[in-house]
Structure 1
């Protein structure tokens, strides 16, 4: 009789075991399955380069000033004031994106650390600026993402998940990444104008320095020209890499948004791994001398 009862209970016991093991597998496997999300978010937060290019944009006048005529200097000083006025807004966007990616990485990992002190980095908001390309939609996205970060971090990350963060943040993330791409193009264009101004002076002046007494001066001028040309070539490459990196971040985050609930899927993990690898390669290029 006991044998019959045990035999009848065996299928039920097997079912319970399967459910328990399945549940345990999901729980222990969760953090592992989000490893690619964490690595992508870390690579995005550490992309770098953007802050350096923003500072270079702000400091354009410092490099141009020795080469400018008095008439050109007046206009350059006006542009310098405009660039300095918007610099903090530009950096505010970058700081917000970095904090978002750090928070996303935290949610996708096992480690718990406190980012509450970083809330102060978010600033007080942006101002629309026609010359820089910052528009009202960028301001709205910035406000939305800062509110999301403040809410998540202030709550101690309780009741939050990667899926929730990505779903709630993607629209604003995409708009702010678009703003960063536009601003990087502005930096690129400003650098092109600076390059034409400075190298153009040498292109015009050197051919007219034909006296024998100018020989040493011409030699020094040519050396200076080559050094400046090399500098601009390096910076041009960094602008290109920064644009590639920001585009990769946008695409990677978009893929997560499109695959909510399937982030442990092999194909999604493979895509995020590739994006993370590409971002690390780009970061190495941005930091190379």
Structure 2
């Protein structure tokens, strides 16, 4: 009877865990704001160009090339995290899910960009997520397979989300710098449009400045929301990991098989 009750309780805990995992996976689209802000970062020069002096324009062209070179690696972090969450959600739903070779290719190609805060630790974390996805054991009991994936993905997901948070802080500073360039130029030039024939030009410039200030204010809120969403995903995953049952020792043959499956 006691064994039966223990089995029932374990089954209930497993069902609750699978439900929580599916709920976590459903939150993955909230990370899409990271992609939007990455695209905005990539396209900075196009927005700044009308407000740049010739010397500044030449400098910003070189920086623009660096931004565009870094962009694929910056968004690869998001691709790895969302692939992990989708795989985890599918596994918790009892479905087999094969992300294909795309995630492996992402993990192989990504490199560090120290200026943005993206370090080798973050790069290794993306590779760790790829390995966690590759090791999904769909033939095992569903709850046990989910638990294994949560354990495998714990550290690399934390580090990958830390990478996203670090890059988002860099975007935030970059956003402030762009605002200083654009608004600074407008506030410098508007007072010189004080002649009667420049009245319309001054009015248009003031209206444009007001629009840009609103744009940057709303973007500041967007930055805050995206950082909060990243932190929320991290906290939910960590809570799931803390709730796991103690891991049972793996047979030596299975350990060797898992190590052999690593990309």
Q: TM-score range by the shorter chain?
A: 0.7 to 0.9
2:224 to 240, 260, 263: 240
- Residue in structure 2 matched with residue 277 of structure 1 by the alignment: none
Asked whether the 8 Å contact 1:128–1:139 carries over to 2, the reply is yes
- Residue in structure 2 matched with residue 176 of structure 1 by the alignment: 160
Q: Please tell me whether residue 101 in structure 1 is matched to residue 85 in structure 2.
A: yes
Please state how far the C-alpha of 1:34 moved relative to its aligned partner.
Answer: 2.2
1:48 to 24, 32, 37: 32
Stretch deviating more after TM superposition (188-197 or 112-121)? 112-121
Please state how far the C-alpha of 1:191 moved relative to its aligned partner.
Answer: 1.1
For structure 1, list consecutive stretches of 5 or more residues without a partner in the other structure: 1-14, 263-289
- Residue in structure 2 matched with residue 38 of structure 1 by the alignment: 22
1:163 to 147, 151, 155: 147
Q: What TM-score does the superposition give when structure 1 sets the normalisation length?
A: 0.77
Give the root-mean-square deviation of aligned CA atoms. Answer: 2.3
Q: Please tell me whether residue 257 in structure 1 is matched to residue 241 in structure 2.
A: yes
2:54 to 42, 46, 70: 70
Question: Which residues in structure 2 correspond to 1:122-161 (within 5 Å)?
Answer: 122=106, 124-152=108-136, 157-159=138-140, 161=145
Asked whether the 8 Å contact 1:31–1:109 carries over to 2, the reply is no
For structure 2, list consecutive stretches of 5 or more residues without a partner in the other structure: 247-263
Secondary structure of the structure 1 residue equivalent to 2:25:
helix
Cα pair distance change 1:158/1:45, threshold 3 Å: farther
Q: Please tell me whether residue 60 in structure 1 is matched to residue 44 in structure 2.
A: yes
Asked whether the 8 Å contact 1:119–1:150 carries over to 2, the reply is no
Number of equivalences: 243
- Residue in structure 2 matched with residue 285 of structure 1 by the alignment: none
CA–CA distance in structure 2, aligned partners of residues 226 and 130 of structure 1? 35
Q: What TM-score does the superposition give when structure 2 sets the normalisation length?
A: 0.84
